[in-house]
Amino acid sequence: MTPTKQPQSCISVAMGKAVELLPPRALEIFVTTEGKNVPHLTIDFILDIKVQSDVRCWCHAKIKEILNGNGWCYTCCLKCARAVHPVEGISYCLACAEPADPVSQRFIIVVSVDDTTGNTSLTLFNKEAEQLAGVPLANILQEDGDMSKIPAAVNNIIRKVCVFQIKVTPHNTSHGCEKFTVIRVMEEPATEASKVGAHTDVEASKLGAHREAEASKTNAHTTTGREVQAAGNLNKSMKIA
């Protein structure tokens, strides 16, 4: 079932009398979660909807910044990938209700994104974060074990334009909690038009420089010829005198 948008305008006059308009109802959409009928929605629409169960939608947006309030990676249980907690000197998984040994690290990157209609925050977990960063987390930690600062590979995802498939839950919409979980991500490549445009600009610059050089040579040649001719005329005048 496709989403239904609220009307943008209402009739304010009925039977020749002004009527008091009621505030618009919160939007509700019902979308299958099988990925076959996932709608493309703008950020302002996503922030206005109300859902009764988890749904998915696509969102085309640009990453503006990384929100590092909760860090960019976490230590997790290998069985369930949930975060572990230190209890009496050991790593304990509350989900599995047992000590987690061994443990691993996974990406968790919260980003601020925007489109032409608004901005929101999304959460990128391991697979999707690594896809955008282009570097496995293990490699980053091996090169720089300082987990308190955002590494360059993670910072490089800023300004990327992507199509995100996100999960919208009742918790998101009823509690105003954004940080929508990203399920899939496709980075938008540079368009052929921009490549052609950049190539054309470079070629035009080269051509302009070449023409300026040729014009400079021509002017120099013309000036030299005039100077030689003037010198010859002077010599003739001196002989006649």
pLDDT digit of tens for each residue in the chain (241 aa)? Answer: 444 444 344 333 344 445 455 444 455 555 444 546 789 999 999 999 989 899 999 999 999 999 988 789 999 999 998 999 989 889 999 999 999 988 999 999 999 999 999 999 999 999 999 999 999 999 998 887 777 789 999 999 999 999 999 999 999 988 888 999 999 999 998 663 344 334 434 444 554 555 566 656 655 555 555 554 555 555 555 445 4
Can you give the length of the chain in residues?
241
What pLDDT is recorded for position 191?
Answer: 60
Give me the pLDDT at residue 190, please. 65
pLDDT at 69: 82
Region of residue 51 (phi > 0: left; psi between -120 and 50: alpha; otherwise: beta): beta
- Supply the pLDDT for residue 214: 62
Residue 75 φ/ψ, nearest 5 degrees: -90, 130
- Between the alpha carbon of residue 175 and those of residues 36, 45, 47, 122, 237, the distances in Å are 28, 16, 11, 16, 101
pLDDT at position 91: 92
Exposed/middle/buried for residue 216 (C-beta within 10 Å: 0-12, 13-18, 19+): exposed
Q: In angstroms, rounded to a whole number, what is the distance separating the alpha carbons of residues 61 and 205?
A: 33
Q: Cβ(163)–Cβ(58) under 8 Å?
A: yes
pLDDT attached to residue 229: 59
- What per-residue string of b and e applies to 157-191 under the rule 16 or more CB within 10 Å gives b? beeeebebbbebeeebbeeeebebbbbbbeeeeee
CATH 2.40.50.140 fits 25-187, yes or no: yes
Residues whose CB is less than 8 angstroms from the CB of residue 227 and which lie 6 or more positions away in sequence, other chains included: none
